[in-house]
A and B are shown apart, each in its own frame.
Chain A
Amino acid sequence: MSFLSHIPRRTAGAIDVVVIGAGHAGLAISQLLGSRGVEHVVLERGEVANSWRKERWDSLKLLTPNWQTRLPGCAYDGDDPDGYMSVGELVQFLDDYAANTNAPIVTGCEVTSVRRVAERYRVITSQGTWNARAVVLATGACNRPSIPTAASGLPAELTQLTPFDYRSPENVPEGGVLIVGASATGLQFADELLKAGHDVTLAAGEHVRMPRRYRGKDIFYWMTRCGIHDQSYTEIEDIGRGRRLPSPQLVGSTDLPILDLNYLRDRGARIAGRFMRAWNGEIQFSGSLGNVCALADLKMQRLLKLIDETADRDGAPAAETFAPTCVDDEPLLSMNIEDVKSVIWATGFKPDYRWLDVDVFDRKGQLRHDGGVVDGEGLYVLGLPLMRRRKSSFIFGIEDDARDIADHLVGYLTNTLRRAS
């Protein structure tokens, strides 16, 4: 590693590369750029791991097991490889990584505008203006909760929470709570709210069902072992669908064999279809619950069958079976708004690029990019779902993506220099 090219440049001015965001993605690419001798700075509006410090709930543990938590040049080496980190432990892990890699980070530095000016990017921040030849967007895929437009029909007096406001059952007023969304977030909330004695209704649209462990190993072990996590974005038939897939119904704990709708239903939750609208004093749900459950069951069976092929070869213990999702004969189609004291939107997240003043968005406001190479010269993104691989949005998935992007970026910098001279 060359020493001189590595002197961090932390004051505003001309620079080769600006990386925006110091989550695991920004830290990973910074490490790789540093080792390639590329002059760069990482601009972070808050602190390292800001999203984990500010935007997560109290009980959250990582869905990914400890042994899998790794970043370029650094792997978990604690004494609980099969455990799941708490948010605090992950913050510590990322803080240590930033320190050990000497990442050139400017904290408390919010980017308010990025614009193309004279073949460079003008990056305007709360701490001055950088002029960069290339920019890496590592600002995360989950900057804002995504809430269905139909939410606007609910009365203003109703308490409405998102995963950014929800911390623990104590935030939730007594009485009925409607949780909208059946991904990891919605199921974890439902579980802890039931335990805290709330009357819980869960509105479930399409969801991804899977057991925590299968045939003696964590499900993430098998998904990696079978090559699913390494699948390239170019091999996936319906990439749009793949990128919209909700998080699997998992929790970072082995207390339960499977956290699913059956478990919540047995504990007293009412399971309804997708939230459709508030109308005439009622909240209405879709009548498609049976089908979304059938789809989720079929997909889980397909996944387990795929795993079986490898697990049989590996001589893994016998396969567990999981009962089909049990749906009421007449699932709930509507409920009185009066019976609900609060609604929690566990309906996913979306990125926030309001500060990106470059023409790189499609008609739905999503970045136009090919595997993270944005449709704008010298502009890159990291950490989006299925960006280059099935594992792109996971911590353990960043290394391969960041390496590809770093290589492309170095090529770009070299080529533009050559053209200029």
Chain B
Amino acid sequence: MTNQVTALPNGVNVEALLGAREALTEMPEAAKFVWRAVNEWKSGTHAESRIEGFFGLGEEQRHVREFRFDSDHPQIFAAEDNGPTPVEYVLVGLAGCLTAGIASVAANRGIELRSVTATLEADMDLYGILGIDSDVRNGFNGITVNYTIDADASEEDIAAVVAQSQKRSAVFDVITNPTNVTVRVNQ
């Protein structure tokens, strides 16, 4: 099993991905997915999120196990720092998505990756969330992602892989483009 996995380019099963693309082209309903998270308040700004089930390929699906994530705020915010801040999870989501894309696109183009690391930085002015200046937005002013990639490919080919990964990234899209958010309170 392990051998089989290492034999795949960048550990990506390109054939399975391309096969899925072809199969889903004929089955638009199966391509409709729903992602879910459950969140529960602990204390203060500490909350715990759990992720296990999602919907796709026409039926309920499960991850191999349940994943749990604590979110909180650092002590300088007078909090207990039981976990990363929610905005840091946004960076985790973006980096996870772009890097997965880079591995897949590179594999599809026959580029073998030796190492891929990214450092992310997001600027934020607290005047927004603290309500001090209404001209300052709550969220990030911008996000910078810096990749260092070691692969047997030219600089341009690597740049093209990174660009293509952004083009096909779900989280990049969620962050760069407006998304409707509906928040309801159940009675």
Residues of A near any B CB (own CB < 8 A):
206, 273-274, 276-277, 279, 284, 286-288, 291, 294-295, 298, 301-302, 330, 363
Number of A-B contacts (CB under 8 A): 38
CB distance from B155 to the nearest CB of A (A): 11
CB distance from A64 to the nearest CB of B (A): 28
Instruction: Determine if B166 and A288 form an interchain contact, defined as CB atoms under 8 angstroms apart.
Output: yes
Instruction: Determine if B156 and A298 form an interchain contact, defined as CB atoms under 8 angstroms apart.
Output: yes
A206 partner residues in chain B, CB cutoff 8 A: 167
Pick the contact of A287: B28, B163, B164, B176 (CB < 8 A): B176
Q: Which parts of B92-150 form the interface with A (CB within 8 Å)?
A: 141-142
Most chain B beta-carbon contacts within 10 A, residue among A286, A287, A301:
A287
Instruction: Determine if B142 and A330 form an interchain contact, defined as CB atoms under 8 angstroms apart.
Output: yes
Residues of B near any A CB (own CB < 8 A):
28, 141-142, 156, 159-160, 163-164, 166-167, 172-173, 175-178
Instruction: Determine if A291 and B163 form an interchain contact, defined as CB atoms under 8 angstroms apart.
Output: yes
Instruction: Determine if A301 and B156 form an interchain contact, defined as CB atoms under 8 angstroms apart.
Output: yes
Q: Which 7 A-B pairs have the closest CB atoms?
A: A287-B176, A291-B166, A288-B176, A295-B163, A294-B163, A298-B160, A286-B177
A301 partner residues in chain B, CB cutoff 8 A: 156
CB distance from A369 to the nearest CB of B (A): 17
Instruction: Determine if A287 and B175 form an interchain contact, defined as CB atoms under 8 angstroms apart.
Output: yes
Pick the contact of B163: A273, A284, A298 (CB < 8 A): A298
CB distance from A365 to the nearest CB of B (A): 14
Kindly state the separation between the CA atoms of A273 and B173 in the bound complex, as whole angstroms. 12
Residue ID in chain A nearest B137 by CB atoms: A333
Q: What would be 30 A-B contacts, judged by CB atoms less than 8 Å apart?
A: A206-B167, A273-B176, A274-B177, A276-B177, A277-B178, A279-B178, A284-B178, A286-B177, A288-B166, A288-B172, A288-B173, A288-B176, A288-B177, A291-B163, A291-B172, A294-B159, A294-B163, A295-B160, A295-B163, A295-B167, A298-B156, A298-B159, A298-B160, A298-B163, A301-B156, A302-B156, A302-B160, A330-B141, A330-B142, A363-B28
B167 partner residues in chain A, CB cutoff 8 A: 206, 291, 295
Residue ID in chain B nearest A273 by CB atoms: B176
Kindly state the separation between the CA atoms of A302 and B163 in the bound complex, as whole angstroms. 14
CB distance from B146 to the nearest CB of A (A): 13
A276 partner residues in chain B, CB cutoff 8 A: 177-178
Kindly state the separation between the CA atoms of A274 and B28 in the bound complex, as whole angstroms. 26
B178 partner residues in chain A, CB cutoff 8 A: 276-277, 279, 284
B28 partner residues in chain A, CB cutoff 8 A: 363
CB distance from A221 to the nearest CB of B (A): 24
A295 partner residues in chain B, CB cutoff 8 A: 160, 163-164, 167
A287 partner residues in chain B, CB cutoff 8 A: 175-177
Residue ID in chain B nearest A295 by CB atoms: B163
CB distance from B169 to the nearest CB of A (A): 9
Instruction: Determine if B163 and A286 form an interchain contact, defined as CB atoms under 8 angstroms apart.
Output: no
Kindly state the separation between the CA atoms of A351 and B167 in the bound complex, as whole angstroms. 27
Most chain B beta-carbon contacts within 10 A, residue among A291, A302, A330:
A291
Kindly state the separation between the CA atoms of A273 and B166 in the bound complex, as whole angstroms. 14
Kindly state the separation between the CA atoms of A131 and B34 in the bound complex, as whole angstroms. 51
Kindly state the separation between the CA atoms of A363 and B142 in the bound complex, as whole angstroms. 38
Kindly state the separation between the CA atoms of A179 and B73 in the bound complex, as whole angstroms. 43
CB distance from B33 to the nearest CB of A (A): 19
Kindly state the separation between the CA atoms of A363 and B28 in the bound complex, as whole angstroms. 10
B166 partner residues in chain A, CB cutoff 8 A: 288, 291
Residue ID in chain A nearest B162 by CB atoms: A294
Most chain A beta-carbon contacts within 10 A, residue among B156, B164, B173, B178:
B178
Given A277-B178, A288-B172, A298-B160, 4 new contacts (CB under 8 A)? A287-B177, A291-B166, A298-B159, A330-B142
A274 partner residues in chain B, CB cutoff 8 A: 177
Kindly state the separation between the CA atoms of A60 and B123 in the bound complex, as whole angstroms. 45
B164 partner residues in chain A, CB cutoff 8 A: 295
B141 partner residues in chain A, CB cutoff 8 A: 330
B176 partner residues in chain A, CB cutoff 8 A: 273, 286-288
CB distance from B110 to the nearest CB of A (A): 13
Kindly state the separation between the CA atoms of A173 and B6 in the bound complex, as whole angstroms. 63
Kindly state the separation between the CA atoms of A195 and B163 in the bound complex, as whole angstroms. 33
CB distance from A337 to the nearest CB of B (A): 15
Kindly state the separation between the CA atoms of A274 and B178 in the bound complex, as whole angstroms. 11
Kindly state the separation between the CA atoms of A277 and B180 in the bound complex, as whole angstroms. 11
Residue ID in chain B nearest A334 by CB atoms: B178
A330 partner residues in chain B, CB cutoff 8 A: 141-142
Residue ID in chain B nearest A240 by CB atoms: B25
Kindly state the separation between the CA atoms of A288 and B177 in the bound complex, as whole angstroms. 8
Kindly state the separation between the CA atoms of A279 and B181 in the bound complex, as whole angstroms. 13
B163 partner residues in chain A, CB cutoff 8 A: 291, 294-295, 298
B175 partner residues in chain A, CB cutoff 8 A: 287
